[in-house]
């Protein structure tokens, strides 16, 4: 019998920000409609929209600024009015069709558009060079893709075999323009406004993947998973801003580059008991540069950084997952995983000045560690959850990086063994929650993050921190309606800490202070239809 399920939601967020010049507003809208055509066919339509009309950027702070006044704003953020706008609309269609008892097809089609404009704090003297792309980024992107897969179920020996074969085709068309972040003559110059055009190009990306994966269960205790994926990614650029003047030239930088990789993966699962599962996996990875990483050349020359190579990795993971039934209908779930990833041609930030980043390949890196998670339902409506990670992320090859831009010849040496910046050595999360089906609800959350290096040279770091959050609410169900009101306090102790760092920031403005003590009160209402 045909029927329709749907979910529609919208939200509005607005903040003055924890620091001067950090206000933001965001509007989200989502809709999902699911059509059950018949017993063999399902169609799902998904539509979403994101609107960020203005998000101010106070920029990072130097160590001296952060220690003296962590809620301050860098003066260049005010003079250049650094900010960002963003708008995206996307639609997707999923069609699932059973062909017979043992096979089916799955089709995903999507498309969308994204517009972004960012005002940066690039010095005027740098922007006026004929090869400079200016201090305003203006992007218009259109993207679309299709994923078609075929699934088949068979039997080998006494065990079921599930096979999936498919192909994906994804495309992105980008119109990238650059403008000066100032206007007017030197005697009457205004900053923070869109000025003369300095860059204009069309960039296209196409990604075609073919993949095959299978899962075979030769016995109730063993499951073997394996797959292979063949990827081809192509970047092409057509330069529409070519300038030739006496003594200075902005040349035609049209060009392209392509990347290919074949990526196998294999995994083995052993059910020692119905409640204890052991597993191990191994596979290869392939990370191409993004358009944002290709956008600027480290030496200050015009055009895309087409010399940037993809990062290739080998990963292994092994672990155990358990689920223990305890007295009084309580339960405990525990998962432990050991992992290691070794990467070649790691893509790293070479320079980061005024919101503009350039990237390079740094050679070999290694990331290894352990993850632990636990979920204990120890009483009716009560739960205790924990998640923790210990991560050792280091460079395995020496290389040179920059402390300024443009960077024709990197001069800052990075030795073997330095930690990869932007990664915490350890992190943990703990939550105690009381959540009955309706009525009063409450929870306490504790979150900790370890020290985070700010640059490849490991010259400074954001200190470790721990914060405490608390919430309380009331949920009421009336017929088809559900009403919920809540209040929460984040960083209840008012801890001062850097929530993130800007890696390799050339001016030393590495530190982005986190929100201090903050309160939030809200309410929701929802209704279910047949």
Beta bridge partners of residue 311, listed in sequence order: 287
Q: Are 155 and 161 in contact (CB under 8 A)?
A: yes
pLDDT digits (tens, 9 = 90+) for 18-44: 899 999 999 999 999 999 888 889 999
Question: End-to-end CA distance of the chain, in Å?
Answer: 14
Cβ-count burial 422-439 (b if 16+ within 10 Å, e if not): bbbbbbbebbeebeeeee
- What pLDDT does residue 529 have? 64
Residue 211 lies inside a defined structural domain of this protein: no
Q: Is the pLDDT of residue 329 over 80?
A: no
Question: Domain holding 355: CATH number?
Answer: 2.40.170.20
Residue 383 lies inside a defined structural domain of this protein: yes
Q: Write the CB contacts of 105 (distance below 8 Å, at least 6 apart in sequence).
A: 95, 96, 97, 99, 148, 149, 150, 151
Rounded to whole angstroms, the Cα distance separating 372 from 311 reads: 28
Residue 480 lies inside a defined structural domain of this protein: yes
CA angle, corner 283, sides to 282 and 286, nearest 5? 155
- What pLDDT does residue 301 have? 86
Beta bridge partners of residue 124, listed in sequence order: none
State the DSSP H helix or E strand holding residue 78, giving kind and residue range, or none if neither. Answer: helix 75-79
pLDDT digits (tens, 9 = 90+) for 411-421: 889 999 999 99
Residue 237 lies inside a defined structural domain of this protein: no
Average pLDDT over residues 295-318: 93
- What pLDDT does residue 122 have? 92
pTM (predicted TM-score): 0.89
Residue 367 lies inside a defined structural domain of this protein: yes
Cβ-count burial 243-252 (b if 16+ within 10 Å, e if not): eeeeeeebee
Containing structural domain, residue 510 = 309-530
Residue 219 lies inside a defined structural domain of this protein: no
H helices of 93-135, where? 124-127
Residue 225 lies inside a defined structural domain of this protein: no
What percentage of the chain carries pLDDT values higher than 70? 99
pLDDT digits (tens, 9 = 90+) for 132-141: 899 999 999 9
Rounded to whole angstroms, the Cα distance separating 305 from 356 reads: 14
pLDDT digits (tens, 9 = 90+) for 177-188: 999 999 999 999
Residue 529 lies inside a defined structural domain of this protein: yes
Residue 187, exposed/middle/buried by CB under 10 A (0-12, 13-18, 19+)? exposed
pLDDT digits (tens, 9 = 90+) for 85-112: 999 999 999 999 999 888 999 999 999 9
Alpha-carbon distance values, 93 to 72, 96, 392 (Å): 46, 10, 41
Rounded to whole angstroms, the Cα distance separating 307 from 132 reads: 19
The position carrying tokens 């200190």 is 463
Rounded to whole angstroms, the Cα distance separating 181 from 185 reads: 13
- What pLDDT does residue 401 have? 85
State the DSSP H helix or E strand holding residue 67, giving kind and residue range, or none if neither. Answer: helix 63-68
- What pLDDT does residue 114 have? 97
pLDDT digits (tens, 9 = 90+) for 454-497: 999 999 999 999 999 999 999 999 988 899 999 999 999 999 99
Number of separate domains in the chain: 1
Average pLDDT over residues 228-241: 96
Q: Is the pLDDT of residue 246 over 70?
A: no
Mean pLDDT of the chain: 93
């Amino acid at each position: 019998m045909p029927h329709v399920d749907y979910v529609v939601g919208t939200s509005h967020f607005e903040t003055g920000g924890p620091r001067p010049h950090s206000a933001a507003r965001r509007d989200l809208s989502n809709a999902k409609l699911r059509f059950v055509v018949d017993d063999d066919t399902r169609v799902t339509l998904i539509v979403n929209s994101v609107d960020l009309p203005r998000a101010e950027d106070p920029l990072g702070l130097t160590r001296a600024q952060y220690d003296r006044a962590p809620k301050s704003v860098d003066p260049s953020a005010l003079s250049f009015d650094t900010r960002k706008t963003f708008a995206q609309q996307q639609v997707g269609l999923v069609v699932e069709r059973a062909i017979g008892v043992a096979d089916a097809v799955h089709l995903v089609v999507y498309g969308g558009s994204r517009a972004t404009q960012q005002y940066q704090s690039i010095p005027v003297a740098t922007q006026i060079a004929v090869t400079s792309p200016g201090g305003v980024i203006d992007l218009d992107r259109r993207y679309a893709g299709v994923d078609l897969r075929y699934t088949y179920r068979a039997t080998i020996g006494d065990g079921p075999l599930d096979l999936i074969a498919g192909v994906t085709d994804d495309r992105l068309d980008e119109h990238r323009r650059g403008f000066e972040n100032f206007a007017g003559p030197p005697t009457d110059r205004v900053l923070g406004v869109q000025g003369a055009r300095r860059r204009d190009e069309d960039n296209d990306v196409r990604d075609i993947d073919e993949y095959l994966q299978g899962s075979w269960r030769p016995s109730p205790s063993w499951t073997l998973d394996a797959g292979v994926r063949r990827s081809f990614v192509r970047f092409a650029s057509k330069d529409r801003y070519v300038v030739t003047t006496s003594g200075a030239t902005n040349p035609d930088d049209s060009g392209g580059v392509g990347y290919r990789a074949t990526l196998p993966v294999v995994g083995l699962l052993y059910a020692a008991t119905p409640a204890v599962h052991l597993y191990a996996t191994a596979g290869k990875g392939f990370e191409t540069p993004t358009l944002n990483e290709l956008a600027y050349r480290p030496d200050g020359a015009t055009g895309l950084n087409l010399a940037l190579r993809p990062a290739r990795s080998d990963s292994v993971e092994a672990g155990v997952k358990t689920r223990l039934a305890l007295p009084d209908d309580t339960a405990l779930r525990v998962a432990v995983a050991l992992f290691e990833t070794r990467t070649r041609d790691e893509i790293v930030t070479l320079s980061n000045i005024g919101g503009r980043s350039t990237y390079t390949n740094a050679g070999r890196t290694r990331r290894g560690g352990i993850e632990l998670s636990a979920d204990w339902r120890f009483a009716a409506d009560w739960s205790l959850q924990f998640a923790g990670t210990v991560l050792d992320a280091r460079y395995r090859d020496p290389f040179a990086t920059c402390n300024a831009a443009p960077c024709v010849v990197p001069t800052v040496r990075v030795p073997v063994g330095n930690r990869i910046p932007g990664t915490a050595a350890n992190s943990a999360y703990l939550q105690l929650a009381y959540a009955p089906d309706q009525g009063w609800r409450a929870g306490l959350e504790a979150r900790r993050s370890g020290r985070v290096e700010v640059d490849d040279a490991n010259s400074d770091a954001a200190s470790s921190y721990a914060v405490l959050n608390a919430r309380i609410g009331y949920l009421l169900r009336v017929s088809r309606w559900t009403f919920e009101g809540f209040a929460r306090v984040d960083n209840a102790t008012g801890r001062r800490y850097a929530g993130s760092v800007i890696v390799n920031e050339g001016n030393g403005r590495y530190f982005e202070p986190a929100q201090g003590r903050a309160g939030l009160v809200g309410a929701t209402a929802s209704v279910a239809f047949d």
